[in-house]
Amino acid sequence: MTLIKSISGIRGTIGGKVNDNLTPVDAVKFAAAYGTWLKDYCKKDNPKVVIGRDARISGAMIQSLVVNTLVGLGIDIVDLGLSTTPTVEIAVPMENADGGIILTASHNPKQWNALKLLNGKGEFIDGAEGAKVLEIAANEAFDFADVDDLGTVTVNDKYIDIHIDEVLKLSLVDENVIKGNKLKVVVDGVNSTGGIAIPKLLRRLGVEVVELYCEPNGHFPHNPEPLKEHLKDICDLVVKEKADFGIVVDPDVDRLAFISDDGEMFGEEYTLVACADYVLSKTPGNTVSNLSSSRALRDISNKHGGSYQASAVGEVNVVNLMKKNNAIIGGEGNGGIIYPESHYGRDSLVGTALFLMLLAERKQKVSEIRASYPAYFMSKNKIQLTPELDVDGILKTMAEKYQNEDISTIDGVKIDFPENWVHLRKSNTEPIIRIYTEASTQTKADDLAQKIMGEISEIAGI
């Protein structure tokens, strides 16, 4: 069982011992640390915080603990109830709130939960502020409010509908054009809040929806990370229903994957590529993704006359580089679409609407659109961490071994070879080293991964 404390929040498994797992005590302590930091950060005794959660089994318990801890600090709460990460992100500025918390462990299995922390812009707090929250939690430097100064709770369960309204207002989204296509789409909501939000959006756009695992009860029917090996059911159902394509989201709806009309994966990496292709064709500009994302976005950006840059992994890093480079679209290769005209956060609702516009314009099958993009193949592997592994030493040795190649060390070690690349980094969300490779064929990507993993094992003596 695991508890991971990082600048982006706290994430852990439910149950177990305090400080080793995400127990009620840990949830209260970290919520109190965030609330204490926020009061100092915005110089208010009673700031406002928006809170929403995915449909995890532990969600109601964690939400009650977090909400009432913040109330005890004198903080006013806007409670969205069952929601999505991007919905909370847009609600923060719309409510003129000072911060927000999303209670979700994203793609992690059901035994996990987490607190994701937002600032007053509805964006993830940065590294410096996150470090302050961790320090407050470590010192338990809390000062709770007197009885007359307790915070209040206001419930607003309309924000998914408000979020959909905001998506349909985007300049590059025309609901009448989409309605004219008369599409049929299968949706796998992994029994979380995507099962509420995505079908609602599609029906507003005149799309016939076939629901699969859209009951938000938190009992994930498969591993919730939207990878090919977990998605046989929807792949089969798309073909059976003769649907135009399928949509899969993770439990908090910030990662978006498509299934082509032939039942094959469109490719999580290509979600951003396709959305960017549509956006750049209308509004040329720059793009950003992270170091672990496909080269295909670079190719599409160049095709439309824009420039591409890569950031360290992590949404806040992508957002910071997007702002610096005035990127008009960006995100992460795990299916995360960030479209600044909407907000600076990964948003599967925005991504779905942009993809539907691409389909409406191209008048092609989804499989045909996928075939039109540069062919890259990725291999995503991991090595479980143990206390005796010197991760920093391993990464340093690998960087030295390949020092004559194009090396980036802003986030682990990225080695860019002429025809392929490998990215090695310690995960922010799991106790693992991630090994991502990309090449012109799946076999080459897999072979490169095995070669690098063998070298790591030799260095580490495992």
Closest CA to 444 of 424, 420, 428, 462: 420
Query: Is 311 one of the annotated active-site residues of the chain?
Result: no
Helix axis angle, 159-168 to 85-94, nearest 10°: 90
CB contact at 8 A, 165 and 201: no
Residue 361: name the closest of 180, 224, 153 by CA.
180
Q: What is the dihedral angle through the alpha carbons of 16, 22, 23, 24, rounded to the nearest 10 degrees?
A: -170
The alpha carbon torsion through 455, 456, 460, 462 (nearest 10 deg) reads -80
In this structure, what is the dihedral angle of CA atoms 48, 344, 321, 116, given to the nearest 10 degrees?
Answer: 50
Which listed residue (58, 106, 311, 342) is catalytic? Answer: 106
The span from the CA of 89 to the CA of 50, in Å, is 9
Q: For 137-150, give one letter per residue: b (16+ CB within 10 A) or e.
A: beeeebeebeeeeb
- Most distant CA pair in the chain: distance in Å? 66
Return the closest-CA partner of residue 104 out of 122, 87, 119, 85: 85
> b/e for 426-452, b at 16 or more Cβ within 10 A?
beebbeebbbbbbbeeeebbbebbeeb
The dihedral built from the CA positions of residue 36, 41, 46 and 49, taken in this order, carries a sign that is negative
378 has which bridge partners? Answer: 438
| Beta-bridge partners for 82 | 53
| Cβ atoms of residues 21 and 15 within 8 Å | yes
Active site residues: 106
